Amino acid sequence: MSEYRRYWDTKIETQPRAELEAHQFALLRQHLALAYGESPYYRDAFEQAGVTPASLERLADLARFPFVDKDIERQRQLQRPLLGDMTAVREEDVVFVSASSGSTGVPTLSPFTRQDFEEFQDVQSRLFWAAGMRPTDRYVHALNFTLFVGGPDVIGAQNLGALCLWAGTIPSERLLFILREFQPTVIWTTPSYAWYLGETALHQGIDPARDLAINRIIVAGEPGGSIAATREAIESLWDARVYDFFGISDIFGACAGMCEERDGLHLAEDHILVEVIDPATLAPLPEGERGEIVFTTLRKTARPMIRFRTGDIGTVDKTPCACGRTHARIQITGRRDDMLIVSGVNVFPSDIEYVVRNLPELSGEYRITAYTEDFTTRFRVEVERALGNTDPAEGLAELVEHRIKARIGVRPRAVAVLEHGALPRATHKAKRLIDER
């Protein structure tokens, strides 16, 4: 790789923090003016909050502006179909829309102008480059193309110069055929599916590490890519390096990703301003403290998102990375909706995953069930033996219970040790939490 430049966009990716924040401030002033002047929703929302674009005299003043969230986004879309009154452009100016899954009943659309879309794909190229992809790579895009915001990200790889295979979400047998026939070097999928695909390959007599050419696996959609034990398990199976990406359908595909240092996910801060708030009080939290991630777009004109509560829980680190990039690094712990409060302790599925993936006696698969007992939230955990493990189930359950208590401070009500293969495998995003409350 030495014959290639180190960064996709050296000037913007290594810009000193003071200069970057001055650039953000200038963009934010323009963006607030666009939202206020062109979006009926934002004009009303700002006036009700007693602010105008002129209220922003420094970046910290953004905290005076109102939040938006998924519910508001959905309501405003229904208020003026098709795209809603949060948009700041005419429908004729929109060239692409993605859609959320609609798991709550109403899919929400994310619109893009031509410039929005081209800048979106330039960010994808930047993140691919930071993860080590080069024009010499063959890339297989194993993400859903059906209205999913991550589908078009393959264009970012093409713009980078890689040979791209538009696989999509096809049956595992067909995808393994592509991996054997065309010998791609990079693939993007979810952590669960990367593990499942590797296991499926082994069952078919294909050794992913020996018979396939994959040397980089990009994962997104679940916290697993940032959990060292999960990442290492996938890497051992494939003999490939795993890089975690983060995207959000309400803004654009991947907007943060790991560099070669893999110490957090670099956020494209020239496009998105990040805050962390206490999800209960909504107060801003200091850098490094865990809370809800809030994003504000700086350049997306089709639908500005001002102080969008993502529902993701994580931390932000704005110190320079060893790679030389100055953009903030985020770490996502999990979803606010998936967080359990047990005896006053915040519990995320990723906390349980950390424990389970670090025990060689287990397969790495797990399932959490939350329920109410005596008006109190409790949880139980199901795990699997590793293939060939014959340790007594009682001892394994005690080990898991002890490790979880040491990790998060509370014990599961029960741990069930199942035989290898008893838990369902995910072919996209894994559902690890069953809520019976």
With 70 as the cut, is the pLDDT of residue 101 above it? Answer: no
- Residue-wise pLDDT for 36-47, tens only, equals 999 999 999 999
- What is the DSSP track for 10-62? HHHHT--HHHHHHHHHHHHHHHHHHHHHH-HHHHHHHHHHT--GGG-SSGGGG
Q: Which domains does the chain show, CATH number per domain?
A: 1-335 (3.40.50.12780), 340-435 (3.30.300.30)
Cα distances (Å, whole numbers) of residue 395 to 23, 333, 363, 378, 401? 57, 29, 16, 22, 10
Q: Residue 1's pLDDT is what?
A: 46
What average pLDDT does the segment 209-233 reach? 93
Confidence of residue 373 (pLDDT cuts 50, 70, 90): confident
CB 190 within 8 A of CB 428: yes
Q: Locate 75 and state its tokens.
A: 């309501």
What average pLDDT does the segment 400-426 reach? 93
Confidence of residue 102 (pLDDT cuts 50, 70, 90): low
Taking alpha carbons only, the member of 177, 108, 106 closest to residue 140 is 177
With 90 as the cut, is the pLDDT of residue 429 above it? Answer: no
With 60 as the cut, is the pLDDT of residue 103 above it? Answer: no
> Alpha-carbon distance 309 to 251, whole Å?
12
- What is the DSSP track for 251-305? TEEEEEE--TT-SSEEE-TTTEEEEEE-TTT--B--TT--EEEEEEESS--SS--
What are the phi and psi torsion angles at 380 (to 5°)? -125, 160
With 60 as the cut, is the pLDDT of residue 201 above it? Answer: yes
- Residue-wise pLDDT for 4-60, tens only, equals 999 999 999 999 999 999 999 999 999 999 999 999 999 999 999 999 999 999 999
Q: Residue 304's pLDDT is what?
A: 98
Q: Residue 428's pLDDT is what?
A: 65
What's the mean per-residue pLDDT of the chain? 94
> Alpha-carbon distance 291 to 274, whole Å?
12
What average pLDDT does the segment 414-422 reach? 96
- Residue-wise pLDDT for 252-297, tens only, equals 889 999 999 999 999 999 999 999 999 999 999 999 999 999 999 9
Q: What percent of the chain has pLDDT over 90?
A: 84
Q: pTM for the complete prediction?
A: 0.86
Q: Residue 238's pLDDT is what?
A: 98
With 50 as the cut, is the pLDDT of residue 437 above it? Answer: yes
User: What burial class does residue 82 get, using C-beta atoms within 10 Å of its C-beta: 0-12 exposed, 13-18 middle, 19+ buried?
Assistant: exposed
SS (H, E, C) 306-368: CCEEEEEEEEEECCCCCCCCCCCEEEEEEEHHHCEEECCEEECHHHHHHHHHCCCCEEEEEEE
Confidence of residue 401 (pLDDT cuts 50, 70, 90): very high
What average pLDDT does the segment 310-326 reach? 96
What average pLDDT does the segment 166-191 reach? 96
Side chain identity, residue 10: T
CB 127 within 8 A of CB 245: yes
